[in-house]
Structure 1
Amino acid sequence: MINRKEIKHALPHGKLSEIAKEAGVSKPSVSIWFAGKINSERIEKAAVKIYVQHKKERNKLKKELQSVENL
């Protein structure tokens, strides 16, 4: 299983705000969660959801780039 630090480092700038919005919490709460100082199932679910979406988007872009390079 991926840990909080790995998720945080894999996400681009601005995704913490998206996680906060998805979880219905403040950005500082998300930062505190990533620091391991609190546990929150809502933040965890939102973080994993955003992380998975981001990974899918990156993989799609990589495939598109590879197809363009192969022209």
Structure 2
Amino acid sequence: MSDTPVSEMSFEQAMAELERVVGQLDSGDVALDESIRLYQRGAELKKRCSDKLAEAEEKVAAITLDEQGQPAGTQPLDPK
């Protein structure tokens, strides 16, 4: 398991570690205390992945298309 704080992980890093955590939990060869710790870490990783996907979706939604369907620019995510 990585020592990198979840809040500093990229989507790809968080997803890879989440897959490792799930694999360890699925193996059934983990003590109860370690299972709880892994489950908590997995929940944090899942949230990080969900947050990063939401950010990406917002960025994609902010792209405007011209009349030919081509990207014409972007709009600010939070116009003020």
Candidates 41, 51, 54, aligned match of 2:46: 51
Which runs of at least 4 in structure 1 moved beyond 4 Å after TM superposition? Answer: 11-14
Q: TM-score, normalised by structure 2?
A: 0.47
Q: CA RMSD in A?
A: 3.3
Residues 1-71 of structure 1 aligned to structure 2 (within 5 Å): 15-16=15-16, 18-19=17-18, 27=20, 30-33=22-25, 35=26, 37=28, 38=30, 39=32, 40-69=35-64, 71=73
Structure-2 separation of matches of 1:14 and 1:36: 20
Cα deviation per residue 1:9-34 (whole Å; 9 max; x = unaligned)?
xx968734x349xxxxxx4x75130x
Identity %: 8
Higher radius of gyration, 1 or 2: 2
Q: Which has the higher contact order (CA 8 A, sep 6+)?
A: 1
Structure with greater proportional helix content: 1
Number of matched residues? 52
Instruction: Mark the runs of 5 or more structure 2 residues left unpaired by the alignment.
Output: 1-10, 66-72, 74-80
Q: TM-score, normalization: structure 1? A: 0.52
For structure 1, which runs of at least 5 residues remain unmatched after alignment?
1-10, 21-26
